[in-house]
Amino acid sequence: MEQINREFKAVVQDMTHIYVGAQMSVAELISYEDVPFKVKAVFNKFFGEEGLREEKICDLLASISREDFVYQAVKQLKLKFKTGIYSEKNGKDIYKSKTMTVDEFLELHSSDEKYFDEEIVFNKLALLAFST
């Protein structure tokens, strides 16, 4: 499992999206050189407290509730979550990646399904329009 965790600690960009490895901690994300400042500012504002900095981003986002202000911010940012879901078919384990909305992500984390958080996808246009 440790090998998998290292693979999902990166930040990659294309023309329309920023892909953040879900296994990074907030401190790693903020110190990472290639992360756009606005992404750092969002995570620092909502999860910058000393006790939360060492937590994985995916764990922090999975623990929010629909009543939290962070939930409203995530909805406005139009974050997508890429998650690998384990299932069994014909006696074989199958790993399938799925991109989901915040509501689907929170529902998955409250279920008993086997999953692995891969990355968080920021929409650059939504990030541009977002103000903290």
Q: Cα separation of 43 and 80, whole Å?
A: 15
Domains of the chain are: 2-129 (3.30.465.10)
Average per-residue pLDDT for the chain? 88
User: Tell me: the pLDDT tens digits for 51-68?
Assistant: 888 999 999 999 999 999
The answer, yes or no, to whether residue 34 has pLDDT greater than 90, is no
- 5 band by pLDDT with thresholds 50, 70 and 90: very low
Per-residue model confidence (pLDDT) at position 88: 84
User: Which residue type occupies 110?
Assistant: S
Of residues 113 and 80, more confidence is placed in 80
Burial bucket for residue 17 (CB in 10 Å: 0-12, 13-18, 19+): middle
**pTM, two decimal places:** 0.85
Q: Do 98 and 82 contact (CB within 8 A), yes or no?
A: yes
The answer, yes or no, to whether residue 47 has pLDDT greater than 90, is no
Hey, is 56 helix, strand or coil? strand
Q: Cα separation of 44 and 60, whole Å?
A: 12
User: Tell me: the pLDDT tens digits for 77-107?
Assistant: 999 999 998 888 888 888 899 999 999 999 9
**Both tokens assigned to 81:** 């979550």
